[in-house]
Amino acid sequence: MAKQNILLMVADDLGKQLGCYGNTKIQTPNLDQLAAEGTRFDQAYTSTASCSASRSVIYTGLHTHQNGQYGLHNGRHHFTTFDHVETAPALFSQHGYTTGLIGKVHVGPSSVYPWDMRAESDSRDVAKVADQASAFFQDCKKDEKPFFLTIGYIDPHRDLTRSGFGNMEDYDPRVKKTPYKSEDVAVEPFVNDLPGVRFEFAEYYQSISRLDQGVGMVLDELKKNGLTDDTLIIFMSDNGPPFINSKTTLYDAGVCLPC
């Protein structure tokens, strides 16, 4: 039996604000279809509601106190995974897979996470990401090797502004804007119903809809390359939304995630 390809897509700061989880205000047709055709988990939890730590658990199967990635992986915090820990890219590579990562990495060191193809980027241009994924699919198909590809989306993480989610940037024309009005969002039970909160959720929704388009584009490229039936497709988030009582907390909104 041939080895099955694995496509792992990880959203950044996405809670259950998706149509497939009962949100009737947001447009996420591609993720809704993926959920309808696959298995949707209602009680999927992260062990820690922060980016680097959560991703290290995903890639190692170990809690942070076991793998060493206690917190954010950057110059100010210096948290890294222990050198002796086995990680998904290393293990799959040992078993003959071509490994790759596109987008957000945020774990380290690179020697512990030795992806064969590492296209690290903070771009939210989901069409560009899909093009990179397509090129990876084609290379693996030509080499006749199974692949383990991780796509670390930046959406729907906040941008460097207080209330922005990357919606003011210019993207490939294939990426369509999906604007939302403040009065049309579903106010979550973990936040207060205030004008500022509604505004930020409207921006958050637009970022989620852009993410959804990107997932659809990648799945289309997988199909064009004739790889859909031979690929295990996994979509998840690293932690909950970047709002009060959610991300970086142990409340359900922070740790119970789409999968």
What residues are annotated to the active site?
51
Distance CA 166, CA 168 (A): 6
Angle CA 207–236–178, to nearest 5: 20
**Rounded distance between C-alpha atoms, residue 46 and residue 158, angstroms:** 20
Distance from C-alpha of 234 to C-alpha of 6, rounded to nearest angstrom: 8
Residue with tokens 């509601």: 49
Rama region for 20: left / alpha / beta (φ>0; ψ in -120 to 50; rest): alpha
Q: Are 13 and 157 a contacting pair, CB within 8 Å?
A: yes
**CA distances (Å), 72 to each of 4, 78, 140, 187, in order?**
32, 8, 32, 29
